[in-house]
Amino acid sequence: MPKDTGIGASPKRREDVRFLTGKGRYTDDINVAGQAHVVFLRSDVAHGRIRGIDTAAAEEMEGVIRIFTAKDFEGVGGIPCGWQITDRQGNPMQEPKHPILAEGKVRHVGDPIAAVVAETRDQARDAAEVIVADIEDLPAVIDMKKAVAEGAPLVHDDLTSNLCYDWGFVEENREAVDRAISGAAHVTTLELVNNRLVANPMEPRVAVGDYAFHDDSSTLYTTSQNPHVIRLLMGAFVLNIPEHKLRVVAPDVGGGFGTKIFHYAEEAFCTFAAKQLQRPVKWTSSRSEAFMSDAHGRDHVTKIELALDADHNFTAVRTETYANMGAYLSTFAPSVPTWLHGTLMAGNYKTPNIYVNVKAVFTNTVPVDAYRGAGRPEATFQLERVIDMAARELGVDPVELRRKNYVTEFPYATPVAVEYDTGDYNATMDKLLSMIDREGFAERRRESEARGKLRGLGINAYIEACGIAPSQLVGQLGARAGLYESATVRVNATGGLVVMTGSHSHGQGHETSFAQVVADMIGINEDQVEIVHGDTANSPMGMGTYGSRSLAVGGSAMVKATEKIIAKAKKIAAHLMEASEGDIELKEGRFTVAGTDKSVAWGDVTLAAYVPHNYPLEEIEPGLEETAFYDPNNFTYPAGAYACEVEVDPETGKVDVLAFAAADDFGNVVNPMIVEGQVHGGLAQGIGQALLENCAYDEEGQLLSASYMDYAMPRAHDLPMFQVDHSCQTPCTHNPLGVKGCGEAGAIGSPPSIVNAVIDALHSGGHDVPHIDMPLTPARVWHAMQGGAANLGSAQPAAGSGNTTHDRSVGAGDTATH
Amino acid sequence: MYDFELVKPKTLREAVAALQAEDAQALGGGQTLLPTMKARLAMAEQFVALSGIDEIKGVCLDDDGRICIGGGTTHATVARECAESYPALASLAGRIGDPAVRNRGTIGGSIANNDPSACYPAGALGSNATIMAEGPNGTREIAADDFFLGMFTTALEEGEIVSEVKFPVPERARYEKFIQPASRFPLVAAFVAKFSDGVRVAITGASSSGVFRWTEAEEALSADWSPDAVKGLTAPDAGEMISDLHGDGAYRAHLVKVMTARAVAAA
């Protein structure tokens, strides 16, 4: 029987009333009296030396207040990077300066050269167009492998090469892995590209800087997933504003998907310029600007080898990945291909030997950083593809091959430094198979063939690490931040309460689901609970929302704070009822004394706390407000099994997704409706990556997919009705709610399902195609069926050399059965 | 968007006069022009909005049985009003863009712009339509074969407005399009029309010269109206096809055959 309220119920999202009626209050809705507007002049070349910037004519234009260039930022810090990676030799990564406005060189199309502040946005835009930037074109490096070759042009002249770091993980495993592979009965090798993506949140980024002379304080309104992190990074590292003089507000935010985690130059600019000009300064990104200034996602080129013994036990995994950093290091960029990717290379499997090598590379492209899943989709994709390929090579059932190698005993310490606390991968696979009628597939395939179509079935598992993260652990791994979360619960005299959380909701529905948890703990109505987030002025220091961490970490902090509230309230109740504190029980909003009929209501206690006439003042303070910080002692490990059926039109190469099923284990679930919505959204983005989305540069570094005319977003009609299930629940063992996180699973688990299914379909039609790089557009699929693989004008790398599908994805004779 | 003057005449004559002004440009439904202006890639001192001119809106039949569509008629109107009289054309109009585009975009605007990936040029060329152009010197009749001169280029002269497009109705016809995944414009689309005196095949989306007639297919289909007649042909020269992220010339050339055969099968 579904519950109506509290944990496990599916009340409608309270925030949707304002969102769906156009009443949301987004950053662009904030207009501060007297504000000026900034427009950035951005580079239209990928790489060039700035010989001069002539702003004289622009400065004379109507409405122009001031034009800024790099020289105005002497003495101001660069945009900091929040994670330092140590390379295989024990040296720190190469970390170039990331100026607010380009200094000396431009390094990607979209790199800001000058900022025009004017009375109106149009005036600023008009003036930006007449600035003359004298830029000497330099050769651009786009392809990562060419970028690290001898003699390649340097993105940063002061670095020794374009290699940010060469990371080995776990370096001590390397020899054992090499031995296991050379002695294996079978090795399957796959080279692949994890395609570069643009996050494309519905709301473009916006920043409004404001400065108050009367108390020398700055306020930044910004589209951020983590306002406290922006306050710390921008205040301490860029503008030298102490945190007590800086307020960062992230109000309603229209989607983030990772790309609004990072601290961006435009935020620092607006805050800086507001003080310089003593006027509020506002920037609103256009969609075109977003394509060339929001951090991109993914962009890995990987070679993976999977070794198996004669009984098909996985004996080793070895990978070599080139990870694109873009032109500068975005806030968490170095951590994505390393700790968020390497630690997941065991997947759901008990492979004993694993070695991951990652070369992070600077190129003349937009910086790349976390995007929904961040490292984990890259890990899952290569592993679940190579397993499928191995099953095909060995002629075994891909589901049975996975089951044979599943981790089944928990806790399980992987060879890549993490410990899975709990899980049941066979349970989610069983559930999945019960959802998809695998036995009926052969008949469905025949039916498709009768219509001239090729039908394929793709099945895979996934695991991810969420709830980041234990602060001490990530500190050892190079994080320059703690990754706890905070909450303050402020109970009012009349019994209602406000939770100020360091988590941030930008579509996740926290205002509804967080209220369910607190209301359930106390036994009051959910409308008695208000969730407040997104303002450093009222919330305790929080680390924000990403990595599916909000409920697991932020929710845990909220539970801890609420537990403190309840403990204090019980003391007050005990006093009011002249009973022993240990006998007090709280149920359905009433305090009772065990074994008696005495009771007081929640509201009686909260009133007593603020009107302490009859109150144990010698023992406790008046008031009812508590703060908790929660630092997890492990990651959480959501996992599951996904399946999809596709139909390929062999004449055109077009792929239609006919069915998609997801069986997830998220541990306990607070609001099943919201969880399903999160999975639906994740699946849409994962399927988008697999079939549609491709951020492509040409050899000169021009962005080919710079608008929706060329960047294909998934739309409703591209997707089937999803079957989603989260009834398999192995609760997380180390957080109080037993929750794991659900925000990224769909985007992590679904790309291999799609590609596995398409490859299956092509093989059924007699096409021996080992792999096709995402996105599997009609042209790419058709070319693969013809035995070729056109790069279609994109300068981004193919995985292997050569022009045939086989050469690109398998390499030259690396696959061998010994 | 740059600043501009907007005039909204009520009659064709006023519109033609307004377009005589220095740096004036006609604005139809604005489905291409407005986004281009917003991106500051198009500008003019004066835009002459054609949307207030009732005399160029609507669909009727002329004495020769041709369907006459006013240049200011929206795609949605054509989709609705030609559903029985010319279903292939109605189907083409009903699949352009999305409902918002179809309720603003006009046939005259589409044809005058001659985007190499637009749908209407294929319908007009494939139907052997006649384009009526209204200018300062009166009305000109231009055969579709003489109208589409290459990517974004037409036989329209400065200041001329597409007032009407006249479509002879074929015995059978069909428009089949394969969409580009991002823009949802045709990656390649084929309009085939079988008239008593022969078959016409117009291809859009594929060629770097814009819409074109695939004469080999016309000959083959005039002799044998069947999908197989197309399948036996050599695809058009890939070197003359558009090559971009979404498909190279070889792929587009291949799709020309596939879409033409499918159009014949569905006609």
Strand order in the sheet with B212-213: B172-179, B186-195, B198-204, B212-213
CB contact under 8 A, B182 and A782: no
CB contact under 8 A, B245 and A692: no
Dist. CA A448–CA A456, nearest whole Å: 10
pLDDT at residue number A812: 41
Q: Give the residue-averaged pLDDT of A625-638.
A: 97
Q: Say which of B183, B243, B251 has its CB closest to residue A709.
A: B183
pLDDT at residue number A795: 56
Q: Decide if pLDDT at A815 tops 60.
A: no
Dist. CA B65–CA B60, nearest whole Å: 9
Q: What is the percent of chain A with per-residue pLDDT over 70, rounded to a whole number? A: 96
pLDDT tens per residue across span A149-163:
999 999 999 999 999
pLDDT tens per residue across span B107-117:
999 999 999 99
Taking the CA atoms of residue A190, residue A195, residue A196 and residue A201 in that order, the dihedral angle to the nearest 10 degrees is: -130
- The CATH class for the domain spanning B172-266 reads alpha beta
Chain A residue with the nearest C-alpha to that of B242: A792
Q: Say which of A288, A709, A782 has its CB closest to residue B251.
A: A782
pLDDT at residue number A152: 97
**Within a domain: residue A3?**
no
pLDDT at residue number A813: 39
Are both A335 and A213 inside the same structural domain?
Answer: no
> Rounded to a whole number, what is the distance in Å from the CA of B84 to chain A's nearest CA?
27
Helices (H) and strands (E) in chain A, counts: 20, 31
> Rounded to a whole number, what is the distance in Å from the CA of A782 to chain B's nearest CA?
8
CB contact under 8 A, A713 and B258: no
> Rounded to a whole number, what is the distance in Å from the CA of B170 to chain A's nearest CA?
28
Per-residue pLDDT band for A798 (boundaries 50, 70, 90) equals: low
Determine the residue type at A323: A
Question: Could you confirm whether domain B54-167 is CATH 3.30.465.10?
Answer: yes
Q: Give the residue-averaged pLDDT of A541-561.
A: 96
**Within a domain: residue A290?**
no
Q: Say which of A651, A712, A794 has its CB closest to residue B181.
A: A712
Are both A44 and A112 inside the same structural domain?
Answer: yes
CB contact under 8 A, A793 and B251: no
CB contact under 8 A, A288 and B39: yes
Which residues belong to CATH 3.30.43.10 in chain B? 5-49
Nearest of A322, A299, A302, A301 to residue A368 by alpha carbon:
A299
pLDDT tens per residue across span B131-141:
999 999 999 99
Alpha-helical segments (H) within A43-188: 56-59, 121-130, 144-147, 174-182
Which residues belong to CATH 3.30.390.50 in chain B? 172-266
Taking the CA atoms of residue A538, residue A509, residue A332 and residue A298 in that order, the dihedral angle to the nearest 10 degrees is: -160
**Within a domain: residue A2?**
no
Residue that has been written with the tokens 């919505």 in this structure: A677
Structural domain count of chain A: 3
Q: Most A CBs within 10 Å: which of B178, B184, B246, as the mutation test of the A interface?
A: B246
Are both A525 and A652 inside the same structural domain?
Answer: no
> Rounded to a whole number, what is the distance in Å from the CA of A767 to chain B's nearest CA?
18
Q: What is the percent of chain A with per-residue pLDDT over 90, rounded to a whole number? A: 94
Residue A794 touches chain B, beta carbons under 8 Å:
yes
Residues of A in contact with B245 (CB under 8 A): 694, 696, 704-705, 710, 792-794
Determine the residue type at B114: N
pLDDT tens per residue across span A704-735:
999 999 999 999 999 999 999 999 999 999 99
Q: Say which of A652, A704, A793 has its CB closest to residue B255.
A: A652
Dist. CA A125–CA A442, nearest whole Å: 60
Residue B139 touches chain A, beta carbons under 8 Å:
no
> Rounded to a whole number, what is the distance in Å from the CA of B65 to chain A's nearest CA?
37
Q: How far is CA A159 from CA A4, A93, B51, in A?
A: 60, 11, 59
Are both A557 and A450 inside the same structural domain?
Answer: no
**Within a domain: residue A9?**
no
Residues of A in contact with B40 (CB under 8 A): 125, 129
Tokens for A72, please give them.
């105005």
Alpha-helical segments (H) within A692-804: 745-764, 778-785
Are both A620 and A656 inside the same structural domain?
Answer: no
Tokens for A215, please give them.
């108390």
Per-residue pLDDT band for A790 (boundaries 50, 70, 90) equals: low
Per-residue pLDDT band for B157 (boundaries 50, 70, 90) equals: very high
Residue B41 touches chain A, beta carbons under 8 Å:
no
- Chain A, window 694-753: residues with a beta carbon less than 8 angstroms from a chain B beta carbon: 694, 696, 704-705, 708-713
Cβ distance A286 to A200 under 8 Å? no
Residue that has been written with the tokens 């970490």 in this structure: A553
Are both A665 and A579 inside the same structural domain?
Answer: no
Dist. CA A203–CA A26, nearest whole Å: 9
Q: Decide if pLDDT at A206 tops 80.
A: yes
pLDDT at residue number B1: 85
**Within a domain: residue A606?**
yes
- Chain B, window 1-30: residues with a beta carbon less than 8 angstroms from a chain A beta carbon: 1
Are both A644 and A783 inside the same structural domain?
Answer: yes
Question: Could you confirm whether domain B5-49 is CATH 3.30.43.10?
Answer: yes
pLDDT tens per residue across span A282-302:
999 999 999 999 999 999 999
Chain B residue with the nearest C-alpha to that of A286: B39
Dist. CA A39–CA A134, nearest whole Å: 19
Q: Most B CBs within 10 Å: which of A129, A198, A652, as the mutation test of the B interface?
A: A652
pLDDT at residue number A817: 36
Residues of B in contact with A778 (CB under 8 A): 178, 181, 187, 247, 251
**Within a domain: residue A706?**
yes
A284, A316, A334 — which closes off a domain?
A284
**Within a domain: residue A167?**
no
Question: What CATH number has the domain bearing residue A512?
Answer: 3.30.365.10
> Rounded to a whole number, what is the distance in Å from the CA of A117 to chain B's nearest CA?
18
Q: Decide if pLDDT at A694 tops 60.
A: yes
Are both A438 and A503 inside the same structural domain?
Answer: no
Task: Report ipTM for this prediction.
Answer: 0.96
Task: Annotate chain B with DSSP letters as a single string.
Answer: ----EEE--SSHHHHHHHTTSTTEEEESS-TTHHHHHHTTS---SEEEE-TT-GGG--EEE-TTS-EEEETT-BHHHHHHHTTTT-HHHHHHHHTSS-HHHHHH-BHHHHHHHT-TT-SHHHHHHHTT-EEEEEETTEEEEEEHHHHEEETTEESPPTT-EEEEEEEPPPSEEEEEEEE-TTT-SEEEEEEEEEETTEEEEEEESSBTT-SEE-HHHHHHHHH--SHHHHHTSPPPPGGGB--BTTB-HHHHHHHHHHHHHHHHHH-
Residue B265 touches chain A, beta carbons under 8 Å:
no
A229, A250, A284 — which closes off a domain?
A284
Q: Most B CBs within 10 Å: which of A777, A780, A786, as the mutation test of the B interface?
A: A777
A567, A599, A630 — which closes off a domain?
A630
Are both A509 and A607 inside the same structural domain?
Answer: yes
Q: Most A CBs within 10 Å: which of B245, B256, B257, as the mutation test of the A interface?
A: B245
Are both A232 and A87 inside the same structural domain?
Answer: yes
Domain extent, residue A49, equals 31-138+205-284
CB contact under 8 A, B251 and A696: no
CB contact under 8 A, A779 and B40: no
Report the mean per-residue pLDDT for chain A: 95
pLDDT at residue number A256: 96
Q: Decide if pLDDT at A799 tops 90.
A: no
CB contact under 8 A, A792 and B183: no
pLDDT at residue number A687: 98
Reduced to 3 states, what is the DSSP secondary structure of residue A425? helix
Q: Say which of B1, B183, B258 has its CB closest to residue A652.
A: B258
Enclosing H/E stretch for A677? helix A672-691
Residue B249 touches chain A, beta carbons under 8 Å:
no
Chain B residue with the nearest C-alpha to that of A792: B245
CB contact under 8 A, B245 and A794: yes
pLDDT at residue number A788: 75
Are both A754 and A643 inside the same structural domain?
Answer: yes
pLDDT at residue number B153: 97
Chain A residue with the nearest C-alpha to that of B250: A783
Q: Say which of A696, A713, A792 has its CB closest to residue B248.
A: A792
Residues of A in contact with B183 (CB under 8 A): 708-710
Nearest of B158, B112, B154, B160 to residue B16 by alpha carbon:
B160
Task: Annotate A273-296 with DSSP letters as a single string.
Answer: HHHHHTS-EEEE--HHHHHHHS-E
Chain A residue with the nearest C-alpha to that of B262: A651
Which residues belong to CATH 3.30.465.10 in chain B? 54-167
